[in-house]
Amino acid sequence: MLFSSLEFIFFFLPIVCIPYFIVKNTKIRNYILILASLFFYTFGEPKAVLLMLVSIVVNYGLALLIEKRKSAKKFFLTASILVNIGLLFWYKYTGFFVSSLNSLLGLSFEVPVIHLPIGISFFTFQAMSYVIDVYRGDTPVQKKLSNLMLYISFFPQLIAGPIIKYHDIDEQIENRQISLDSYVAGSKRFLIGLFKKVLIANNAGALWEAVLNSDMSSLSVAGAWLGAIAFSLQIYFDFSGYSDMAIGLGRIFGFRFLENFNYPYISRSIREFWRRWHISLSTWFKEYLYIPLGGSRKGNVRTYFNLLAVFLCTGIWHGASWNFVIWGIWHGFFSVIERLGLEKILKKCRVINHIYTLCVVVIGFVIFAITDFTQLGEYMGVMLFNSNHILVNDSFIFNLKENITLIGAAALFSMPVYKRLEGSIESNGILKTAEGVLFILLFIVTIAYLVSSAYNPFLYFRF
C-alpha cells in the first residue's frame, strides 16, 4: 500500500487516526499503531510479516541476553549481526551470488528465485542498530517487546525509511506530545511529500521511461542527458517525497524523525552530496561501519580504504546487481579523489564545483538505473561519447517542450526556496491563508492525477 494511493489516504489513514486521537493513553495508542503497522505490512506482504515478527523477537531476545550476560555479550552481538545479515543475504542476494558464481567460474548451479520482502533492508538495519547500541551501552535494553515492535514495525518508516535509530525515539515511544500544532505540521509535511511524489517524480519517471525505451540508434546526446536528468529528478523526488510523507506521518502521531534529505542537488562536492542525500543511510554506515573500521584515525591509506568499503556496501545495499556495485564504487572513487586534493581545487570556483557534482551524480544515476550492461553501454556511448553522431534532434526538442514546466518546477523545488520562506509565511496572516489555499488546490490536483493515472511507481520498494 503506497502512501500516495487513494486507499491509504482516504481509508487506511483515517481509520487509524480516529481511534488513535480518541484514546488518550499512550500505551493503548502504541497498541493501535502496532496493529495498524502489522495490517499495513500484511496488506503488501502477507507471508513476510511472519519473517519481520521473527526478526523482532530474535533481536529482542539477543539484546536482553547482551544485557544479562555481559561476559558473553560479544557472542550475542555476533549472533544478532549474523541473523540480520543472513536474512538480508538469503532473501536479497542469494540469486545474485549464485548467478555471479556461475558466470565467473563457468558453473551451472540452478539460480534460486526468492521473493524479496518489501522493506527488509530497512527493518534489518534498524534491528541491528538497536542491538549494537545496547552492546555499546549507548541505549538501555528495551524490556517491553511491544515497544521494540513499534520501533521496528511502525508503518510510516517500515518499508522505505528513514532508517531510525532506537536511541533517537526511545523516549518518544512512551512519552510524546500529541497536539493540534503537531498534527497540522505533520499534515503539511505529508502533503509536500505527496506533491513531490505524484506531481514531479511520477512525471519525471514517465519522461525517463520514454527516453530509455526509445530507439537507441536515433537517440541524441541532448536527449540522453535529458533522460538522465529526468531519472535523477525522479529518484530524488520519489524518495525524498516518500521520506517527507513518513516524517509527516510521524509528526501526526507525535513522533519526530530526523531529516533524510537536505537539498542534495545544491551540493558542491560528492562528499557534501552524501551529507545531504539519504542521510539516515549515510549516518548508519558511518556509525556502524566506517568508524568501527577506523574512520580517518589510522592514516590516509586506511581512510581511503574505509571510504571505498563503505561506498561498496552502500551500492550493494541498494540492490543485488553489479550496476549497484559499480555505482557505489563510482561515488567512493570521487569521494577519495576529493580528499586527495580535488575538493580544494574545486572550492576556488563555485560554478564549476556545482556543475562537476551534478555531472558525477547524474552519470552515476544512469549506472544506478540500468541493470542491463549492454543497454547501459549503449546509453553511455550516446550520452558521453556521441556514438550516434547526433547532438540534438526533433525528439529531444519535443520532449523538452512537453516537459519544460516539469523541469522548471523540479529545479525550483530542488532548492531551499520554500524552506526560507516558511518563517515569513508563518508570521504573516495573509501569506498563511494563501499557503493554506495553495495546499488545498495542490491536494485536489494531486488526487485528480491519482484518479486519472495508473502510473504511480515507487523506486525504493525494490531495496
Q: Are residues 157 and 253 in the same domain?
A: no
Q: Are residues 254 and 403 in the same domain?
A: yes
Q: Are residues 168 and 187 in the same domain?
A: no
CA proximity to 127, closest of 90, 88, 91 = 88
Residue 312 in any domain: the answer is no
Q: Are residues 219 and 139 in the same domain?
A: no
The whole-number pLDDT of residue 348 equals: 81
Residue 400 in any domain: the answer is yes
Q: Are residues 170 and 191 in the same domain?
A: no
Count up the domains in the chain and report the number: 2
Residue 319 in any domain: the answer is no
Q: Are residues 234 and 169 in the same domain?
A: no
Q: Are residues 208 and 101 in the same domain?
A: no
Residue 298 in any domain: the answer is no
CA 440 to chain centre: 27
Residue 337 in any domain: the answer is no
CA proximity to 316, closest of 325, 307, 306 = 325
Q: Are residues 378 and 403 in the same domain?
A: yes
Sequence-separated (6 or more) residues with CB below 8 Å from residue 198: 4, 241, 446, 449, 450, 456
The whole-number pLDDT of residue 85 equals: 96
Question: Which of 176, 200, 235 is at the close of a domain?
Answer: 176
The whole-number pLDDT of residue 227 equals: 97
Low-confidence spans in the chain with pLDDT less than 70: 454, 456, 458-463
Print the domain residue range for 131.
6-176
Residue 278 in any domain: the answer is no
CB 212 within 8 A of CB 395: no
Question: Which of 176, 199, 231 is at the close of a domain?
Answer: 176
The whole-number pLDDT of residue 458 equals: 64
Half-sphere exposure of 389 (CA within 13 A, CB side): 0
Tell me how far apart the alpha carbons of residues 125 and 177 are, in angstroms, rounded to a whole number. Answer: 27
Question: Which of 135, 151, 176 is at the close of a domain?
Answer: 176
Q: Are residues 132 and 245 in the same domain?
A: no
Q: Are residues 171 and 190 in the same domain?
A: no
Residue 328 in any domain: the answer is no
The whole-number pLDDT of residue 429 equals: 81
Share of the chain above pLDDT 70, in %: 98
CA proximity to 292, closest of 81, 68, 70 = 81
Q: Are residues 79 and 134 in the same domain?
A: yes
Q: Are residues 59 and 86 in the same domain?
A: yes
The whole-number pLDDT of residue 461 equals: 58
Give the 3-state secondary structure of the chain: CCCCCHHHHHHHHHHHHHHHHHCCCHHHHHHHHHHHHHHHHHHHCCCHHHHHHHHHHHHHHHHHHHHHCHHHHHHHHHHHHHHHHHHHHHHHHHHHHHHHHHHHHCCCCCCCCCCCCCCHHHHHHHHHHHHHHHHHCCCCCCCCHHHHHHHHHCHHHHCCCCCCCHHHHHHHHHCCCCCHHHHHHHHHHHHHHHHHHHHHHHHHHHHHHHHHCCCHHHCCHHHHHHHHHHHHHHHHHHHHHHHHHHHHHHHHCCCCCCCCCCCHHHCCCHHHHHHHCCHHHHHHHHHHHHCCCCCCCCCHHHHHHHHHHHHHHHHHHHCCCHHHHHHHHHHHHHHHHHHHHHHHHHCCCHHHHHHHHHHHHHHHHHHHHCCCHHHHHHHHHHHHHCCCCCCCCHHHHHHHHHHHHHHHHHHHHCCCHHHHHHHHHHCCHHHHHHHHHHHHHHHHHHHHHHHHCCCCCCHHHHC
- For the question of residue 354 being annotated catalytic, the response is no
The whole-number pLDDT of residue 421 equals: 80
- Of the residues 115, 167, 278, 318, which is catalytic? 318
Residue 197 in any domain: the answer is yes
CB 233 within 8 A of CB 294: no
